[in-house]
Amino acid sequence: MRKLLLLVPLLFLVPLSGCNKTADVNAALSVTQQVIVLAQDDLPALQAAGVLTAGDVTAAGNWLATANTLVTQGESCVNTSGGTTSKIVACVNTIGTGLLSPAEQADLRIISPGAQKKVTLYVTAVILGVNGAAAIVKGLTTPTPVVGSATTNDRPTKQDILALAYRVGVTNDQLSRIGY
């Protein structure tokens, strides 16, 4: 599992291939936004299927909305950085810090036990995308916040992450380049 968590950020970096840090960071953040949009779109269907309660949808939706705002602001910050690495690092670090704020973590604590695994998958994928952007400029990595009282068993499996990667559009060729 540890190896998986170290390799998964590469899923978000594989599409990147230049040396332009502004473009590369924005590409990683764009993938992160795709994950956020996908997760937001999934919430109503997950509620209808009984996987999430109305409270879960509200809590997860609030966290995802803030994540989207932070990533959008981060992209804007990166675009106005003038390509200066230290400024790009500050932009990306701000996203991670915002996602770990007490208010954001409070949204994740009220998720019902049945919904924890699904919400943890989305939260993990968002954090991995942000960490992928941070890795490009050697910024700070953000730990994945705990969803509810999630235990180790509630963490996403390799198959969960791969399935989400496919839904976001990471190709088999990109996966094979990193050994999947």
For 141-167, what is each residue's pLDDT tens digit?
A: 899 888 887 565 567 777 777 788 778
CA angle 145, 148, 152 (to 5 degrees): 70
Let me know if residue 1 belongs to a domain: no
Report the largest interatomic distance among the alpha carbons of the chain, rounded to a whole angstrom: 47
Let me know if residue 2 belongs to a domain: no
Structural domain including 134 reads 21-173
Per the structure, how many domains does the chain have?
Answer: 1
Let me know if residue 77 belongs to a domain: yes
Model pLDDT for residues 77-115, shown as the tens digit of each residue: 999 999 899 999 999 999 999 999 998 888 888 788 878
Give the Å distances, CA to CA, from 158 to 97, 110, 163. 26, 25, 9
The beta strands (E) that lie in the chain are given as: none
CA angle 149, 153, 158 (to 5 degrees): 125
Let me know if residue 6 belongs to a domain: no
* Alpha carbons within 13 A on the beta-carbon side of 163: 9
pLDDT at 108: 87
Let me know if residue 10 belongs to a domain: no
Let me know if residue 3 belongs to a domain: no
The answer to whether the pTM exceeds 0.85 is no
Let me know if residue 5 belongs to a domain: no
Let me know if residue 31 belongs to a domain: yes
